[in-house]
Amino acid sequence: MVQHSCFNLRTVSVAQPQNLISKVQTMGAGGRMNVAAGSDKPHAFKRVPVSKPPFELSDLKKAVPPHCFKRSLVRSFAALFRDIIIVSVLYYLAATIIPVLPKPLTYVAWPLYWFFQGAYLMGLWVIGHECGHHGFSEYQWLDDTVGFIVHSLILTPYFGFKYSHRTHHANTNSIEYDEVWIPKRKSDKLYSEILNNPLGSFVVFVFKIVLGFPLYFVFNLYGRKYEKGITSHFYPYSPIFNDSERFQIFLTDLGVFGTLYGVYRLALIKGTEWVINFYGMPILFMSGFFILLTYLHHTHPSIPHYDSTEWDWLRGALATVDRNFGFLNHAFHDVTRTHAVHHLFPTIPHYHTFEARLAVMPILGDYYKYDDTPILEAVWRETKDCIFIEPEEVNGEKKGIYWFYK
């Protein structure tokens, strides 16, 4: 059993999270904390430990204040309505102001609207994701109802993602069984040779940001490879799902295609340009933010992947990276900086994850990874440096632990 730090995190207010980070960054197992403060600092590339942790999940759970596991209907709906109000206000401002601006100014105003509307649509996406984890309320039916409606309206297959995401959490960083961001191998010449250059990295980056979201859900791009069947989040008989889940995938399809039909009808009334500007482009920006979040949480030069000879649930769950998205943390409900604790306790609602994160950091020590490298710099670095994985070698013998190489 790891001894808890004498620093009583339970009594500290989380109103000033940045100050609290600085207080606990130097704490942890052996007095260390694996925190990267930019790509120019050695911690940015310091590999996390791969040995069996000197603590169990139960030790971490005991450190988390019990109220963090409580789901509040008031706070959850407040977060949902916050996003709905902000999205509505942004739409109202854009619809009222942009059409009367001088033409040159619209070339600035529209992208600004798309960016911020996409960011807060991503906030709505986070709420739907939380529903899929049963972190919105104490009632599963309510979580599924809210999640289904929210995700359908932003073209996300709620139940399809819920079930594939469940598998991702159960097999994080397993190269055989994880469900998303499966790394390439050196034998894949397209990535290890043809695209392994600055131009190739740029093409991969743009492709990922623009098309990664729809291609992941429709064709399971970046997901696990199955030997048989059509792997799609929209196909009820996909091997991603079991028999008891197939009817809900039909419902998912009805939700998303119902939204698309509504958009089509709206285009007939308002015009295609109106729909593209007010809905299509914000969804495109939202999908780019989705890729940035998920990719950067699971791709970093310092985190390992494991094959079946080495993988276990706790080490896999710990092989994730918390990031700092600056002012966008607010739009994303701060899940950017709490992904590690989310993988340990996925039912903790977002408004408690920061406190839970601070509570477990002293125990995690070097097993915790936080990198506040500016996001654009980080995604470019990971795109060009994390090309493929290969097994670690010890005394000439390959182990079941894999690291990124370029």
Q: Provide DSSP, 206-245.
A: HHHHHHHHHHHHHH-TTSPPPSSS---TT-TT-TTS-GGG
Residue 231, Ramachandran bin (φ over 0: left; ψ between -120 and 50: alpha; else beta)? beta
Sign of the Cα torsion 152, 157, 163, 166 reads: negative
H-type alpha helices, 55-139: 57-63, 73-97, 103-132
Instruction: State residue 33's pLDDT score.
Output: 53
Closest CA to 318 of 341, 295, 335: 341
Q: How far is CA 207 from the centre of its chain?
A: 18
Answer yes or no: pTM beyond 0.85. yes
Please report, for the chain, the start and end positions of each structural domain, with discontinuous segments joined by +: 60-405
Residues 6+ apart with CB under 8 A from 227: none
How many other CB atoms are found less than 10 A from the CB of residue 193? 12
Q: Which single residue is written with the structure tokens 């980070």?
A: 21
What residues contact residue 377 under an 8 Å CB cut-off, 6+ apart?
A: 39
| Spatial CA neighbour of 201 closest among 19, 381, 34 | 381
d(CA 185, CA 298): 16
The pLDDT of residue 31: 41
Q: What is the pLDDT of residue 26?
A: 39
> H-helix or E-strand containing 317?
helix 313-318
Cα-to-chain-centroid distance, residue 164: 14
How far, in Å, CA of 228 to CA of 240, rounded? 10
- What is the predicted pLDDT for the residue at 395? 76
Q: Check residue 34 and give its pLDDT.
A: 59
Residues of the chain with pLDDT under 50: 1-32, 37-40, 42
**In this structure, which amino acid lies at residue 390?**
E
End-to-end CA distance of the chain: give it in Å, rounded. Answer: 39
Calculate the average pLDDT of the chain.
90
Q: Residue 127 has what pLDDT?
A: 98
pLDDT at 39: 43
> Using DSSP, how many helices (H) and how many strands (E) does the chain show?
16, 6
How far are the Cα atoms of 13, 65, 273, 314, 353 from residue 28, in angstroms, in the given order? 20, 18, 54, 17, 18
Give the whole-angstrom CA distance, residue 178 versus residue 181. Answer: 8
- Closest by CA position to 371, among listed 20, 7, 21, 8: 21
The pair of structure tokens assigned to 147 is: 């999640």
| Cα–Cα nearest to 332, from 10, 82, 68, 48 | 82
